[in-house]
Amino acid sequence: MAETLTIVGGGLAGLALGIGLRQRGIPTVIWEAGGYPRHRVCGEFISGNGAAVLERLDLLKLLEDAGAIRVHTAAFYSGSNHSPVRNLPAAAIGLSRYSLDATLVHEFQRLGGELHAGTRRPENSFGEGTVRASGRRAQTTEYGWRWFGLKTHATNVDLAADLEMHVSADNYVGVNRINGGQVNVCGLFRGRPGQSGESGFEFLRGKPGSLLHARLASACFDEHSFCSVAGLSLKPQRAADQSECCIGDAVTMIPPVTGNGMSMAFESAEIAIEPLSRYSRGEINWAEARESIARACDTAFAERLTWAHRLQWLMFSPVLRTPLGKTLLRSDTVWNFLFTKTR
Ligand SMILES: Cc1cc2nc3c(=O)[nH]c(=O)nc-3n(C[C@H](O)[C@H](O)[C@H](O)COP(=O)(O)OP(=O)(O)OC[C@H]3O[C@@H](n4cnc5c(N)ncnc54)[C@H](O)[C@@H]3O)c2cc1C
């Protein structure tokens, strides 16, 4: 008789793990603090190895049925500098978290998984047999900055590329196509503690005179989809340094500019399926399962995190708005190198 596994956090990592375990017949319970479906702060752009994991977990077809679209082209803008519109080396997937999370929940339950939504588990409940998939660890400030994210959906937006990334001194905002003919407008912002500001929509619209502002001039925003998140920590962490069994953002958060956080959530979930199944069947003990998951996650993500942090630094550096920035944005070599290294 297999032992029941508990997953705390029913986001992408927790749900993908739950589905993988149920596919192997492992009794699994997920505890989720929030409800479904709901809007989440996310660029809703799945890029990298995550799509292959979704395929292996038989989820890709379900997401296509839920309306997922392929995102083929991208362009970056910073002040008067910009890249050409480029084909992505591999197409990404565009699907709202509202639909994505709901599809995964449905599949987990269809496979016989037990879900308790609307219930927050206490911090002292992470003993043997419990996986932490509870997302990012909140941090008020980092390197003296307060980081926050905003997201909304909009219609009536004309884009030059399927994904446009608009970079300015204290933020970057991605505007990309998703399902239902909508675009996702999502940004990462930084401010000094105590600094007050505009409303969320004004932040997302960009400064008057900017290309972002012009792009969104006729946009119809879906107010119900607006959401925000603060206290983000973007400093890389190693899974092996953590005493609990962690997957997804609970291990570490990759800078959102890479569009790779969801992929890492799926990849870490897949890494965890086999060791946890073996633990549940009594073939290995908890420490062995936890250590093998942590080792595999660190090996898979270390280089990607290093390059993602360099890319994040570049996004906020004034260099992008100089003549050197113009050359960097236009260089296919730089683009291909950074794209490959951050996923
Ligand atoms: C501004 C911004 C833009 C982004 N854009 C992209 C993008 O375009 N592409 C991309 O791939 N990634 C993007 N990401 C990152 C991506 O959203 C995350 O990496 C991904 O959601 C991580 O999944 P997760 O399951 O680890 O965490 P989450 O999706 O955050 O799920 C964690 C879940 O745990 C629950 N929870 C927490 N504590 C408890 C508790 N004690 N008890 C029960 N439940 C609990 C929470 O309610 C939550 O539902 C972006 C992030 C930000 C901030």
Going residue by residue through the chain, which has 343 residues, state the pLDDT in tens, using 9 for 90 and above.
899 999 999 999 999 999 999 999 999 999 999 999 999 999 999 999 999 999 999 999 999 999 999 999 999 999 999 999 999 999 999 999 999 999 999 999 999 999 999 999 998 888 999 999 999 988 777 777 888 999 999 999 999 999 999 999 899 999 999 999 999 999 999 887 666 666 778 899 999 999 999 999 999 999 999 999 998 888 889 999 999 999 999 999 999 999 999 999 999 999 999 999 999 999 999 999 999 999 999 999 999 999 999 999 999 899 999 999 999 999 999 999 999 999 9
What is the DSSP annotation of 183-203?
EEEEEEEEE-TT-----HHHH
Measured distance CA(137)–CA(234) in Å, rounded:
10
Long-range contacts of 109-113 (CB under 8 A, 24+ apart): 111/19, 111/22, 111/23, 112/22, 113/18, 113/19, 113/21, 113/22, 113/28, 113/29, 113/30
pLDDT of residue 198: 63
**What is the DSSP-derived secondary structure letter of residue 283?**
S
Helices (H) and strands (E) in the chain, counts: 10, 14
Helix (H) or strand (E) holding 290: helix 286-316
Distance of CA 18 to the CA centre of its chain: 18
Residue 144 DSSP label: T
- Which of 120, 111, 48, 158 has the alpha carbon at shortest distance from 273? 111
Both tokens assigned to 324: 């050197």
The CB of 14 under 6 Å from ligand 1? The reply is: yes
Tokens 């492992």 sit at which residue? 26
> What's this model's pTM, rounded to 2 decimal places?
0.96
How far is CA 174 from its chain centroid?
13
Between CA 71 and CA 95 the distance in angstroms is: 10
Atom of ligand 1 nearest to the CA of 120: 42
Hey, whose CA ends up nearest to atom 17 of ligand 1?
Answer: 42
Atom of ligand 1 nearest to the CA of 43: 8
- Asked if 104 and 15 count as a contact pair (C-beta separation under 8 A), the reply is yes
The span from the CA of 199 to the CA of 242, in Å, is: 37
301 CB less than 6 Å from ligand 1? no
Task: Return d(Cα 167, Cα 210) in angstroms, integer.
Answer: 10
Task: Give yes or no for a contact between 2 and 280, defined as CB atoms under 8 angstroms apart.
Answer: yes
Q: Are strands 45-46 and 86-94 parallel, antiparallel or unpaired?
A: antiparallel
Helix (H) or strand (E) holding 172: strand 171-177
- Quote the ligand 1 centre to 13 CA distance (angstroms): 8
8-state DSSP, 90? E
Q: Is 70 helix (H, G, I), strand (E, B) or coil?
A: strand
Q: Which atom of ligand 1 is nearest to the CA of 249?
A: 26
* 18 ligand 1 Cβ < 6 A: no
CA-nearest of 253, 261, 258 to 339 is: 258
Q: What is the DSSP string of 244-276?
A: SEE-GGGT----GGGS-HHHHHHHHHHHHHHHH
Q: Is 104 in the pocket of ligand 1 (CB under 6 A)?
A: no
Alpha carbon of 64 to ligand 1 centroid (Å)? 21
Which amino acid type is present at position 306?
Answer: T
Provide CB contacts within 8 A for 107, sequence distance 6+.
19, 59, 62
Closest residue CA from atom 35 of ligand 1: 9
Nearest to 303 by CA among 48, 89, 53: 48
The rounded Cα 101 to chain-centroid distance in angstroms is 12
Six token digits for residue 49: 């190895």
Name the one residue in this structure whose structure tokens are 């989820």.
59
- The atom number, within ligand 1, closest to the CA of 123 reads 41
